[in-house]
Structure 1
């Protein structure tokens, strides 16, 4: 699986939820059509991240329930099942360079509403 980081200029932005729907320093799963997207709020950094919800190792929709944190300053998510860690910035696997990465999506906040950018087309 190739890592995909979508660029904001080629995006269709969809309304995901209200800011208050996402726990501080935690994540939720958002549905977009048939796709599941994990949305994370780093309250202590005042930043937001979105990735695929599917763990590439166990093929389970679980990343939104993982533990967030940082590794050498890099925001990360750890799968709740096997603890593999992935960069929330670019999707690469941080715990094993031979493992495949995950898709990341841009996030935009407007007036207490969270929007996620998905590939146009």
Structure 2
């Protein structure tokens, strides 16, 4: 695992771009964290969130159904169908539900890096 630290964010190498299914997700691990990584082909956009669904506390979001809701990229938990924004993590199906942690993603030379809090 390679990491690059800046003042606020540590960028770690998550995987190669070819490791992520088109319009789908994978789970990557950084230290003790599981992070769901998604790639939307149509917009050529990458998103990363916690993998833990806050509704029932299961590590499942990387296997969730992706799509859009009123133009907002989203993921739905494969077990409970709670839907979350991939941009800011808020729950789109219940405003009182917990939000997801989201992480910045950058691509360099077909390598995917995810930014986590520097600690």
Measured against the shorter chain, the TM-score band is over 0.9
- What TM-score do you get using the length of structure 2 for normalisation? 0.94
Query: Aligned partners of 1:64 and 1:46: how far apart in 2?
Result: 18
1:86 matched to which residue of 2?
A: 84
2:100 maps to which residue? 102
Which one scores higher on RCO, CA 8 angstroms, separation ≥ 6?
A: 1
Where structure 2 has 5 or more consecutive residues not aligned to the other structure, the ranges are: 1-5
Alignment of 1:42-57 (within 5 A): 42-57=40-55
> Can you list the C-alpha shifts for 1:33-54, whole angstroms capped at 9, x where unaligned?
1110000000111000000000
Question: What is the Cα-based RMSD across aligned positions, in Å?
Answer: 1.1
d(CA) in 1 for partners of 2:21, 2:30: 20
TM-score (structure 1 length as normaliser): 0.92
Quote how far apart the aligned CAs of 1:9 are.
6.4
1:108 to partner: Cα distance? 0.3
| Whole-Å separation in 1 of the counterparts to 2:73 and 2:8 | 24
Mapped to 2, the partners of 1:9 and 1:113 lie a distance apart of 22
Correspondence for 2:27: 29
Tell me how far 1:10 sits from its aligned partner. Answer: 1.6
- From the superposition, tell whether residues 90 and 17 of structure 1 become closer, same or farther in structure 2 (CA, over 3 Å): same
Q: CA deviation at 1:60?
A: 0.3
Aligned to 2:69: 71
Instruction: Look up the SS of the partner of 1:109 in the other structure.
Output: strand
- The runs of 4+ residues in structure 1 deviating greater than 3 Å are none
Aligned residue-pair number: 114
SS of structure 2 residue aligned to 1:64: helix
User: Which structure shows the bigger proportion of residues in strand conformation?
Assistant: 2
